[in-house]
Amino acid sequence: MNGPSLPTRSRVTISEVAEAAGVSKATVSRYIGGDRQLLADATALRIEQAIERLGYRPNQMARGLKRGRTRLIGMIVADILNPYSVAVMHGVETACRQHGYTLVVCNTDRSTEQESQHLAALRSYNVEGLIVNTLGHHAGELLSLHSELPMVLVDRKVEALQADLVGLDNRDAVQQALDHLQQRGYRDLLLVSEPLDGTSSRQERVAAFEAGIARSPLLQGRVLQTDGAFRESLRDFLVASGPGPKALFAANGMAALSATRQLREFGYRLFEEIGLIALDDLDWYPLVGSGITALAQPTERIGVTAFECLLDRLRGARGPARHFDFKAQLIVRGSTHPRG
């Protein structure tokens, strides 16, 4: 009787299978490598039975060593607690599985140091390609990695890096939001964003917001980050007199959470006194107040596209960096019905 957690029999190797089947390692290797048509039927059958009998599974590490193909894809995620990341990752994983790849996900918790560490780790495990949701600092490391293996950026571009990019059409999304808010009668807007931090998508949203405001004579707008004096600045916005009804525009799901929390803490009735539109569509949006109007990102497709793009490169596709910018989809709920 084995005690639990007692790794007993060490794994069956190709040599044991070879011996059991009365053939050489090479022949077994050909069998598991898919060159089955090279083998005589009788031989293949003997090997098949030996494998079955012994419960043999080839060691991918060893295969990868000589072959250079580990069938491993690495993914760097800046913040695994952000539902956007999880949703994209889900898409990537689905695509990976369909193509026989295994995904190794590393979360950096928004730490530059951990990003470095994880990149090094993934490299050392010989991943064939990388899908990166990076902080964007220290482009040097990414650059040198990109000279070694294909890489696809998700959501965040890196100036110095000529890599494929999959993300949202931020300009379009922000414009959709502004159009919607304006049409619903809101005039005094506040864009709430997580700290910009050099994160390209956040910066793009802010830039598009400011540009949009500048183009719209009816609208007034400010930008606020969810750190430092967030609470006080938000209060300032809420009590200041402006050109008309006020609305918040949360630049992503996390910002929506912070903003809504803060509104509640201030005692606002959601969303009778102030409008809200949020980028990302989280599953609890419908449940808050009269429901939060959202600009949904096609997260699953973003993930799948990122992988397919990578696969393309893995198969040898050359050429300049490609950009896939998906459109956001407006989902109207109660939070953008003035005086609820």
Of 189-197, 199-207, 278-286, 323-331, the segment contacting its own copies by CB under 8 A is: 278-286
Residue with token string 């918790």: 109
* Residue 265 to residues 103, 258, 261, Cα–Cα distance (Å): 41, 11, 6
Phi–psi pair at 256, nearest 5 degrees? -60, -40
Residue 92 contacts which entry, its own copies, DNA, none (Cβ below 5-8 A, type-dependent): none
State the binding string over 294-323 for its own copies (x if CB under 8 A, else -): -------------------x---xxxxx--
Cβ-in-10-Å burial (0-12, 13-18, 19+) of 330 comes to middle
Burial 292-322 (b: 16+ CB within 10 A, else e): bbbbbbbbeebbbbbbbbbbbbbeeeeeeee
Q: In terms of DSSP bridges, do strands 329-331 and 293-296 run parallel, antiparallel, or are they unpaired?
A: antiparallel
Choosing from 5, 6, 19, 22, the residue that interacts with DNA (CB under 7 A) is 22
State the binding string over 128-147 for DNA (x if CB under 7 A, else -): --------------------
> Judged by CB under 8 A, does residue 54 bind its own copies?
no
Which amino acid type is present at position 291?
G
> Judged by CB under 7 A, does residue 32 bind DNA?
yes
> Judged by CB under 7 A, does residue 29 bind DNA?
yes
DSSP state at residue 333: -
Choosing from 20, 27, 72, 170, the residue that interacts with DNA (CB under 7 A) is 27
Residue 4 contacts which entry, DNA, its own copies, none (Cβ below 5-8 A, type-dependent): its own copies
Choosing from 48, 284, 327, 332, the residue that interacts with its own copies (CB under 8 A) is 284
> Judged by CB under 7 A, does residue 13 bind DNA?
yes
Choosing from 2, 8, 10, 241, the residue that interacts with DNA (CB under 7 A) is 10
Residue ranges in 45-64 that form contacts with DNA under rule CB under 7 A: 56-59, 62-63
Which amino acid type is present at position 199?
T
Q: Which H or E element spans position 258? A: helix 253-266
Of 46-54, 107-115, 178-186, 216-224, the segment contacting its own copies by CB under 8 A is: 107-115
Residue with token string 């700290």: 195
Q: How many residues does the chain have?
A: 340
Please state whether the peptide bond connecting residue 249 to the residue before it is cis, i.e. omega within 30 degrees of 0.
no
> Judged by CB under 8 A, does residue 34 bind its own copies?
no
> Judged by CB under 8 A, does residue 90 bind its own copies?
yes
Chain residues binding DNA by CB under 7 A are 10-15, 22-30, 32-33, 37-40, 42-44, 56-59, 62-63, 65-67
